[in-house]
Structure 1
């Protein structure tokens, strides 16, 4: 009788196919996962494949260094899926530290599932060498394109290395408790009953921190809107406002809806308009608000925020949030394929769009109103320099100081670097209209 086939080949093969598309065909990790994961019927396999992909991309520089050192000649274009599978194997051994025998056996079997029968022995040998010799430490900077690495080093000097290192680490899972439904302490008790440990950060009134990621389906009350997943840095955006009851608020780049929802969770009286240029992305806002039972509390508009003549009714807003499209360099640990897809030419377009949003939306703000400008970037050009330039050309705008809890001083705003207090990289500025 033939020996039983090792289990777990399917999620490894799926992860290799996703990585092949991301690494070699310029595809988006999120888009590839959205197609690949539903094809795996077991939720545990879906979770494993997703975790492998993220770990593989975060450690890509190390794994490529191992391949360069251990292979007699580099893999060619025809071996793109083999390279992806080997990276899948390395990621399971370090940092995921899955049981070694099972990980190696299942990855070797995945090689056969990918049609690489004749190279299954090579996969086995390289993974066993990784177990025996360990993987090279690597240099976290190598993962960053040279042009982007140079900018970060210029912006952050001696702190640049921390940006590179923290961006290669797995982030904690942050939850935002919905105070309309449950207190934070009560929800923490529900987590404990489910065997899930959670930590409180006194700086964040609605947040709980989980040391390890878990599937949202395992979170008590998630489907009913008791809790959301949102990084601590993004939760701080709501704290940058000082809204009065009944204030008219615009979230100008609202998708996927987390910041709109957070403001409404805190104050049901807000007259909220959630705007996004992409109608399909606005559907995600609608779904988010529906899950949180906030669907009736916001007006949703699909429109270009930078062209208010097409959608604004002329009634001024008391507060405006511009969570601006940006390079996403502060959230590389959550979107590691950013480093593969971002081009230097992208930055000029993003800078122009950010400036256009600031200029176009400022007239929609009431006298005495506040505009909060945020990005998930660590580039000074998108943050401190962008706001300083706006203030220089806008005579009725002045910056209001944010407390040190928002991060280090950066021009007229505050900057949080990746990993500080467990947060993503994020920039905040609060501007008041005279």
Structure 2
């Protein structure tokens, strides 16, 4: 028995998720819904589930380009489901591949299999085959539009050009590459070299890209990782792994991890120090993985649902020694992992989110003891969510000072503030911002 469903079924499921994305739904939720519906009509092998996710993510990464191609290929916009099938197929055909005839045939088969798209299967076949005949010219013409060339909304591109005039193209290019699977070795359970040896014995190639960070050559299910169930290792981007060491908790301190879900930074803090930690998040659904991660690593923390902007609802009145504010943001630094974000965000979100970030900082500052430290972090590359928020906060709080930050990245020590996404042989991380604030006595 094959360990994969027919390719036509996989394409159809990916298209259902892309259709939902185009309608404004987050891709993870859209994929979950599509895969759940597939399971109800017959078991879907795990390999097919992975293939569906890969195809949907690839279509999201190339959505600007495939939309421009579709506009050139179609005399009039097709119905949403057919448009999504076309988008998934085109995203697979942008680069020449040996199986491109199979992709076309199976996309057409997917159209024939559904009553609402069956009448237009011939249209889909004709447009995809025309694209293969005229690929070079159609791609060149489409890429004249910056949205198609960079696969990001126009406002996003403009914002990056203003914020990072020397690096904006590299940031956009990084977002269109699939992300690596990066591990964080639990130093309480063993050393990084020792875990590298365990990976090698398990047939998993990896390279060190941070103090505790190992990038796998290929992604695998977490239960294939040596010592996963024993808490020997966690999955966490190398840039995100900087947060806990930068805050540098000490044994016995009271620590608050505000906006804690899904728990990667919470568990890292507890790996570094035997501290009294409160993990806070406004969304109970984001706290479930926090509890799961704590249990897997054998750690304890106070897990609380509550709004960081309203401490009166959850704070016990005792000051914290250290606070991590991993603030809600556009997530513009992690779009290689979440390619749908760029298409769901709007320019107006920048003002809304920066105001919320400022409110969180102002609300949590009184909870910090004199001499205590607060690390402000986002996974954004937009200055309005980062340097602007911190500068405004410092200007309105005379008892706050900013401390310099440095960390070892790859084989060098670097000053840390705005971390742009990058992937090289020695370093591989998403985009993050860090600012360490100290409360003056």
TM-score, normalised relative to structure 2: 0.88
Q: Note the 1:3-402 alignment, pairs <5 A.
A: 7-23=6-22, 25-38=23-36, 39-40=38-39, 41-71=44-74, 73-76=75-78, 79-94=79-94, 99-115=99-115, 116-134=117-135, 136=139, 138=143, 141-142=147-148, 143-201=151-209, 204-267=210-273, 269-294=274-299, 297-402=300-405
State the Cα distance separating 1:312 from its structure 2 match. Answer: 1.3
For the residue of structure 2 that corresponds to 1:318, the secondary structure is: strand
TM-superposed CA distance for 1:413, in Å, is 6.4
Structure 1: give runs of 5+ residues left out of the alignment.
1-5
* SS of structure 2 residue aligned to 1:55: helix
Q: Is the 8 A contact 1:406 1:416 kept in 2?
A: no
Matched, 1:427 2:433: yes
Unaligned runs of 5+ in 2: none
Paired residues of 2:258 and 2:308 also in contact (CA < 8 A): yes
Q: 1:244 to 1:186 in 2, by over 3 A?
A: same
Q: Quote how far apart the aligned CAs of 1:311 are.
A: 1.6
Is the 8 Å Cα contact of residues 204 and 217 (structure 2) preserved in structure 1? no
- The 2-side partners of 1:413 and 1:182 are apart by 27
Report SS of the residue matched to 2:247: coil
- Following the alignment from structure 2 to structure 1, what is the Cα–Cα distance between the partners of residues 290 and 133? 48
The CA deviation at 1:316 is: 1.2
Contact 1:406 1:428 in 2 (8 A): no
In structure 2, do the counterparts of structure 1 residues 119 and 212 end up closer, same or farther at CA, with 3 Å as the change threshold?
farther
Distance in 2 of aligned mates of 1:343 and 1:62: 19
Aligned residues: 416
| Secondary structure class of the residue paired with 1:175 | strand
> For residues 94 and 419 of structure 1, do their structure 2 counterparts lie closer, same or farther at Cα, with a shift above 3 Å needed?
farther
Deviation of the 1:290 alpha carbon: 1.6
Q: Cα distance, 1:310 vs. partner?
A: 2.0
Q: CA deviation at 1:417?
A: 1.4
Q: Is the 8 A contact 1:141 1:161 kept in 2?
A: no
Report deviation, 1:244: 2.0
Give the TM-score, by structure 1 length: 0.89
CA distance in 1, matches of 2:198, 2:108: 41
CA-to-aligned-CA distance 1:67-108 (integer Å, 9 cap, x gap): 22333x1324xx111111111112233469573344333222
Do the aligned residues in 1 keep the contact of 2:406 with 2:416 (CA within 8 Å)? no
Contact 1:57 1:337 in 2 (8 A): yes
Change (3 A) 1:46 1:83: same
Supply the distance in 2 between the matched residues of 1:341 and 1:350 (Cα, whole angstroms).
Answer: 14
Structure 1 residues 266-319: Cα deviation after superposition (integer angstroms, max 9, x where no partner):
33x11111001112221221122122222xx11111111111122211211111
